[in-house]
């Protein structure tokens, strides 16, 4: 009976992925799904080319393109979520090893610029961004959350940014936003020591707005997003501008500096050897 139930769940998950991909213009994207809903645009991470919705330059480019489209359409806000049990596991480290091994200098520039442009797209997006975290959010997948406006999480979600542990420097403006939101002590534990935050801990410290029970998570999120989408588009955009405008230039500067440091790290043989030695026996686990 258990085996039959497990197979049924697996079939359902495959059908969900297939049905989601048939909606509207999703054929334009390979690793994300874009749905046009009434009053809002829904972007879902649904990677077919990396594990656990990990990010590659190609996937980040798709997200940027979807953000660009949503910025100019008639939607009032953006909802970002994921298909599967993991929200986002951050950078795809298998991809990093393969690319940086072949051409260290060229690829370090290309990948760091992809991260810079990806993060910049969130910083510059003028409409409210709501994020629904269904499961673990790691690395860059967690770092971008303070760049969004409302973050709702399932009780199953947890957050981790172990940059120093995996021989990287912070990204996604987390070197600035995490100390501002979480406080210096906790931010340092997350960035330097890889401390995990549960959904409830993240909520109590201000990284997450609300936490919902997993079985009703999607319904709770949709109910609130649709309520937001009934508001005036002008009011929503102007309200975000009032809250965010003074931070924009600061965040853009932090983003540039973080990505420059990553480029320098990956360009140096010492920095690359340190990353490879860590990942040789232990690829990032979720």
Query: DSSP assignment of the chain, as one string?
Result: -HHHHHHHHHHHHHHHHHHHHTSTTGGG-SSEEEEEETTEEEEEE--SSSGGG-B-HHHHHHHHHHHHHHHHSS-SEEEEEESSS-SB--B-HHHHHHHHHH-HHHHHHHHHHHHHHHHHHHHH--S-EEEEE-S-EETHHHHTGGGSSEEEEETT-EEE--TTTTT----TTHHHHHHHHH-HHHHHHHHHH---EEHHHHHHHTS-SEEE-GGGHHHHHHHHHHHHHTS-HHHHHHHHHHHHHHHHHHHHHHHHHHHHHHHHHHHSHHHHHHHHHHHTT-----
The model's pTM: 0.88
- Residue 99 pLDDT: 87
- Residue 282 pLDDT: 56
Residuewise pLDDT in 10s, the chain (286 residues): 444 444 444 444 444 444 444 444 545 899 999 999 999 999 999 998 889 999 999 999 999 999 999 999 999 999 999 999 999 999 998 888 888 888 888 999 999 999 999 999 999 999 999 999 999 999 999 999 999 999 999 999 999 999 998 889 999 999 999 999 999 999 999 999 999 999 999 999 999 999 999 999 999 999 999 999 999 999 999 999 999 989 999 999 999 999 999 999 988 877 777 777 777 655 544 4
Q: Kindly report, residue by residue over 95-152, the tens digit of the pLDDT.
A: 888 888 888 889 999 999 999 999 999 999 999 999 999 999 999 999 999 999 999 9
């Amino acid at each position: 009976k258990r085996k039959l139930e497990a197979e049924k769940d697996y079939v359902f998950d495959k059908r969900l992925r297939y049905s989601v991909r048939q909606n509207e213009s999703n054929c334009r994207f390979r690793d994300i799904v874009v749905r046009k809903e009434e009053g809002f645009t829904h972007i879902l991470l649904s990677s077919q080319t990396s594990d656990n919705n990990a990010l590659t330059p190609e996937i980040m480019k798709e997200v940027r393109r979807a953000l660009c489209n949503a910025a100019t359409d008639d939607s009032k806000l953006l909802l970002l979520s994921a298909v599967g049990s993991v929200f986002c596991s951050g950078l795809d480290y298998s991809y990093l090893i393969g690319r940086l091994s072949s051409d260290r200098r060229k690829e370090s520039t290309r990948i760091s610029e992809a991260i810079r442009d990806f993060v910049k797209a969130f910083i510059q997006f003028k409409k409210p961004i709501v994020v629904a975290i269904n499961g673990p959010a790691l690395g860059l997948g967690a770092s971008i959350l303070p760049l969004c406006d409302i973050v709702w999480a399932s009780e199953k979600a947890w957050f981790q940014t172990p940059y120093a542990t995996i021989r990287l420097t912070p990204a996604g403006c987390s070197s600035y936003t995490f100390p501002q939101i979480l406080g210096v002590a906790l931010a340092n534990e997350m960035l330097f020591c890889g401390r995990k935050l549960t959904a409830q801990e993240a909520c109590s410290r201000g990284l997450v707005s609300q936490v919902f029970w997993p079985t009703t998570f999607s319904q709770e999120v949709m109910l609130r997003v649709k309520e937001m989408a009934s508001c005036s588009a002008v009011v929503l955009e102007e309200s975000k501008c009032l809250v965010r405008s003074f931070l924009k230039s600061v965040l853009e500067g932090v983003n540039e500096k973080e990505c420059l440091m990553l480029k320098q790290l990956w360009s140096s043989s010492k920095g690359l050897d340190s990353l490879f030695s860590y990942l040789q026996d232990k690829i990032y686990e979720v």
